[in-house]
Chains A and B, each alone.
Chain A
């Protein structure tokens, strides 16, 4: 069975097709939500933001030029909206605490280590990365974005993307080492 491409859906949305909008939303809203949630930390706020993201898609579908994947465009809009929302509340920063607040369900590294659950230690250490490092890891591993697409979403040169990813991995290795997990690198 062949599914309608995202690009075709955008074309139909540009023509005012609300059903196409619902299909696009169903296809992407969970990933966009999780991406936004990393920034804002509050599920209800993240829900409001994804509605805004897709409303922008509804309004600007006729301007989409397919220079990037639709999912890349969605994440770029989502990132912009999440950062704007944080700017409107200057007391909140996109920091480690925000990231930890949304996924601090596993044991802390030492406890987890005692339980010899390396996977849990790894996930816990991920929450201790800076927002910048965490974002790039999510974009590459979870959202499956290429170097070029990450560059478009984050708005930095491709070489910076590679360097940032390298240092994110390095930092993660250091955090694991501190938690007692030696992986041989860095």
Chain B
């Protein structure tokens, strides 16, 4: 008897929790039928449901009063898309070291690769090439961009973009290429040169020169990332 009462109470609670979605019409048919049956027999739930319907109506009024964005939002979006398309075209027409090396490697037979003393070296060069190719897209005007595919990455000539903010960066040996890719994309870091003999890359942290305090803060934050072994600011040239 007690268990039955508890089950009833739990069922009522469950239905009570679903009332807002019932008012919004977003329940499944089965759930909606269950709520409808409960509303027909439970005056307390029915009264609550009425207040929920009021809340829903006023929420809509409140949101509708927020207005709409100006045409600027659409114009900016289309301009950004146009810039994106142009960048993609540029990337497609430019030389891709990673692809080239990949093609060359795939043309060798496994046996050749296995016995070739250059295989390991090529693999390292390939990885470096791929890393160098992993750049977050730079849209015209230097606005925010997110990497979403190889087309949106491009290599950067250090002299093209100066004055920017650069740093020296090396990764922990256990960091995987996937983790490194994610790290670079997250912070929109472009790899510019490297690696040097000791595995240090020159990277670009920002398209513009950063104030000293900001740079120190950024470097400290990046140093705490799990893939980073070392990072230090590179003096402006």
Contacts and interface: CB of A to CB of B under 8 A. Distances in A.
Interface of A: 16, 18, 21-22, 25, 29-30, 33-34, 37, 43, 46-48, 50-52, 54-56, 58-60, 62-63, 102-103, 105, 119, 122-123, 126-127, 137-138, 140-142, 144-147, 149, 162-163, 165-166, 169, 172-173, 183-185
A172 B48 CA distance: 13
B55 A141 contact: yes
Given A166-B17, A169-B55, A55 B84 contact: yes
A18 B88 CA distance: 15
A60 B146 CA distance: 9
B25 A55 contact: no
B72 interface: yes
B21 A140 contact: yes
Given A59-B148, A173-B51, A183-B51, A142 B63 contact: yes
Nearest to B51: A183
A43 B62 contact: no
B18 A162 contact: yes
Given A18-B81, A43-B69, A172-B55, A145 B144 contact: no
B66 A52 contact: no
B58 A51 contact: no
B48 to A, nearest CB: 5
Nearest to B68: A30
Contact of A47 (B20, B51, B69, B84): B69
B24 interface: yes
A103 B65 contact: yes
Interface in B12-58: 16-18, 20-21, 23-27, 44, 47-48, 51-52, 54-58
Contacts of B23: 141
21 contacts: A18-B78, A29-B69, A30-B68, A47-B69, A47-B76, A55-B81, A55-B84, A55-B146, A56-B148, A60-B146, A119-B61, A122-B58, A123-B58, A123-B62, A138-B59, A140-B21, A141-B56, A141-B60, A142-B63, A185-B44, A185-B48
A169 B52 contact: yes
Given A56-B148, A103-B66, A146 B27 contact: yes
A65 B111 CA distance: 40
B146 A59 contact: yes
Contacts of B47: 184-185
Nearest to B137: A59
Contact of B21 (A43, A126, A146, A183): A146
Given A51-B73, A183-B51, A185-B48, A169 B84 contact: no
Contact of B17 (A37, A62, A127, A162): A162
B63 A165 contact: no
